[in-house]
Structure 1
Amino acid sequence: MSKLSHSRRGEIVVPALAAVLALSACTPAAEGANSDTLAVVATTTQLADFASQIGGDDISLTSLLQPGASAHHFDPSPKELVAMSQADVLIVNGAELEGFIDSAIEASGFSGELVTASDGIDLAEAKAITAEGEREAETGETPEHDHDHDHADHEATDGAVGEADHDHADEEAGHEGHDHGDEEAGHDGHDHGDVNPHLWTSPRYASGMAAEVARGLAQADPAHAADYTQRAAELEEQLTTLDEWVSEQFAGVPAADRVLVSGHDSLRYFLHDYDIAYAGAIMPSFEDNAEPSVAELDALSAKIRERGVRAIFVESSMSPKLAQTIARETGITVVDSDALYADSLGAAGSGAETYVDATVHNTRVILEAWGVTPGPVPKGLGEHS
């Protein structure tokens, strides 16, 4: 039996969900679904955006996280577990971002195609970048990067469907038995430990993750594989243009001014790609619900003064209170009314509803806080260009 039939052969749930099965008819995954659409659940808003753009009308989509929410402390509701129980495809970030996912898979009885978007990138490289960022925050020494931004290693859509760089045969064999217990521990031998999970903040990495989403959708729904491939190629083109535009914007900023402090360590790959120095974060953690100590806040304030940091940037999923306190103590600007979209995309009307728009927004906000006027956005790049 094909995986496309999973959501239509009856709910597969554990007894804990019996009381909420009546919700299944009105869950987002079921609304408007028919025999020709693939029921897809994505964990984060970024992955939901990739799935929406690649899946088009061939999928019915549920995003577990809503705009403004954070995967670091997310707990799926019974209704969301029902959506998972009906899903043909579940798309996760991986790299230990979704601490809730194993228990949610078990509770929902999900038995479809599991797509781990981080399988589309080089996690060994990501691990090295993570370690580099930690050393930079500790020592204040900014490493030199050699970025040509030619996307030679990221033309993923050409091989996104059926010709991925790594072999998914063993992975699929594991899915057939529906033993998801070890999924987040490491796909295909990947070591997800010590990797900053905010991989999508790099447009280059986002491209690889989107290609993995396309591969997974095509594998679950071969009848529409060509459509997924075409839409993935269109998204790849946008991400390439986005990367080139962002690179041009920051290349014009003097190196001494390219120093950033964020709410938590969420922009590591973005900073790395565009040679922006990382002076640290208010919460010195990959997670946005950590509690910094007084000593850590004092050390950050000292770095801000020492390195001439011009602004603290708050992410949309975080409270600005600590940032405002540090800004008062150090005399610098806190950018909180026009927050950065890192863990989450923006709500409707924010101008940051898609990954491309959110990245353009973030670039503009950072540049303007540094006193730099952003250049024009290429025509057709995102909905708000």
Structure 2
Amino acid sequence: MKHGRLSLIVAAATLLAGCGAEAATDNPPAAAAPKLAVVATTPEVADFVRSIGGDAVAVTQILKPNVDPHDYEPTPADLQAIAGAKLLVKNGVGLEEWLDRTIESAGYKGPVVDSSQGVTLREGGHEHEEGEEEHAGEEPKEEHAGEEEHDPHIWHDPRNAKTMVTNIQKGLAAAEPAQASAFAANLTTYSAELDKLDAENTAAWAKIPAADRKLVTNHDAFGYYIARYELKFVGSVIPSLDTSAELSGKQLTDLVAKIKGAGVKAIFAESSLPPKTAEAIGQQAGVKVVAGEDALFGDSLGEPGTPEGTYLGAQRHNTKTLVDALAG
């Protein structure tokens, strides 16, 4: 008797479940629109894509915070992400030397947005301009003509960042036309934030006498920033746009002499590079080295979820760190 009653309960439950399934089929919930799968190479570019794409994009960021972009080795996960992407966005100007072969290996045939298109590029780096220390008001030079000869750190001038996000907005709109108006609205909002950042930076540097605006960094990554805010580049620990170069004994001695002769107040380490050499030079030159939590974001951004994990936050950190140290 119990067995028969149990059979009836199971049968009733099955019937009710079936009715429920039919009812659910009659009124299916509205399916959320799938997000546009975008692969972005650098932390800066990924942040730009998220800012313009909003909820309509799913961003896979290849370079994690504090990973050097110059000599990166792509992983199988990178290949898989690129293979499944609907859009790929890069910094450009030769920064991602590893990208073309990675795209080929992944078999990706989709669109690639070069966010640097239209940016006026600096010719080479400061190390090519022998005998020149001062670059106050130096204007960047001609546009793309052999990417390997130009400075790829374009995002350090907020005006260039505006060009970059405009390129990204166009690429997103072409890949997802239904969201074009939302992307355009996000671009307007974010461009205003970039204008605000630029104005804040200009106001902060106006408080520092021109004679004190002297910069020594880990590597030559801040040329666009230096030109925009009329600073003076004295030298870098790594005498190159690329982080793989090494300082010779003579170059080290010359840099120490330059630092002493120019009256430099500080050497600034970078978050993605070890500060050991900078600290050794600082000790020889008798100046402080700004490192650790105060290190500049040269090639990277901070950790996700922190203010410095966004482009705007990292740039504000850089300006505050530089101004505070040079005002002392």
* TM-score between the two structures when normalised by the length of structure 1: 0.73
Q: 1:268 aligns with which of 213, 220, 223?
A: 223
Q: 1:238 aligns with which of 183, 187, 193?
A: 193
Larger Rg: 2
**1:91-130 to 2 correspondence within 5 Å?**
91-123=89-121, 126-127=122-123, 130=124
Task: Specify the SS of the correspondent of 1:36.
Answer: coil
What residue number does 1:222 align with? 177
Q: 1:44 aligns with which of 27, 42, 45?
A: 42
CA shift, 1:272, in A, is 0.7
CA shift, 1:112, in A, is 1.2
Are 1:361 and 2:317 counterparts?
yes
Residue deviations 1:27-53 (CA, integer Å, cap 9, x gap): xxxxxxx76321000000000000001
Is the CA contact 2:42–2:62 (under 8 Å) kept in the aligned structure 1?
Answer: yes
Are 1:312 and 2:245 counterparts?
no
Task: Specify the SS of the correspondent of 2:149.
Answer: coil
**1:189-200 to 2 correspondence within 5 Å?**
190-200=145-155
CA distance change for structure 1 residues 250 and 346 in 2, over 3 Å: closer, same or farther? same
Is the CA contact 2:212–2:327 (under 8 Å) kept in the aligned structure 1?
Answer: no
Code of the aligned partner of 2:214: V
Are 1:205 and 2:197 counterparts?
no
CA distance change for structure 1 residues 189 and 327 in 2, over 3 Å: closer, same or farther? closer
Residue deviations 1:190-226 (CA, integer Å, cap 9, x gap): 4323111111111111111111111111111111111
Q: Distance in 1 between matches of 2:277 and 2:198?
A: 31
What residue number does 2:52 align with? 54
CA shift, 1:141, in A, is 4.0
Is the CA contact 1:120–1:211 (under 8 Å) kept in the aligned structure 2?
Answer: no
CA distance change for structure 1 residues 52 and 259 in 2, over 3 Å: closer, same or farther? same
**1:22-171 to 2 correspondence within 5 Å?**
36-123=34-121, 126-127=122-123, 130=124, 133-134=126-127, 138-145=130-137
Which runs of 5 or more residues in structure 1 are unaligned?
1-33, 148-187, 373-385
CA shift, 1:110, in A, is 1.0
Residue deviations 1:106-134 (CA, integer Å, cap 9, x gap): 111111110001114123xx33xx46x34
What residue number does 1:165 align with? none
CA shift, 1:248, in A, is 1.0
Q: Distance in 2 between matches of 1:354 and 1:316?
A: 14
**1:287-306 to 2 correspondence within 5 Å?**
287-306=242-261
What residue number does 2:295 align with? 339
Code of the aligned partner of 2:137: H
Residue deviations 1:225-275 (CA, integer Å, cap 9, x gap): 111111011110000010011011112211110000000001110011000
Is the CA contact 1:260–1:278 (under 8 Å) kept in the aligned structure 2?
Answer: yes
Code of the aligned partner of 1:192: E
CA distance change for structure 1 residues 189 and 370 in 2, over 3 Å: closer, same or farther? closer
Task: Specify the SS of the correspondent of 1:370.
Answer: helix
Is the CA contact 2:215–2:231 (under 8 Å) kept in the aligned structure 1?
Answer: yes
Instruction: Tell me the number of residue pairs that the alignment of Structure 1 and Structure 2 aligns.
Output: 294
Are 1:328 and 2:283 counterparts?
yes
Is the CA contact 2:127–2:239 (under 8 Å) kept in the aligned structure 1?
Answer: no
Is the CA contact 1:352–1:358 (under 8 Å) kept in the aligned structure 2?
Answer: yes
Code of the aligned partner of 2:85: A
Q: Distance in 1 between matches of 2:322 and 2:117?
A: 30
CA distance change for structure 1 residues 43 and 111 in 2, over 3 Å: closer, same or farther? same
Is the CA contact 2:93–2:116 (under 8 Å) kept in the aligned structure 1?
Answer: yes
Code of the aligned partner of 1:145: G
Which runs of 5 or more residues in structure 2 are unaligned?
1-31
CA shift, 1:75, in A, is 1.0
Is the CA contact 1:42–1:63 (under 8 Å) kept in the aligned structure 2?
Answer: yes
Runs of 4+ with deviation above 4 angstroms: none
Percent identity between the aligned chains? 38
CA distance change for structure 1 residues 143 and 336 in 2, over 3 Å: closer, same or farther? closer
Task: Specify the SS of the correspondent of 1:71.
Answer: coil
Code of the aligned partner of 2:206: A
Q: Distance in 2 between matches of 1:316 and 1:143?
A: 24
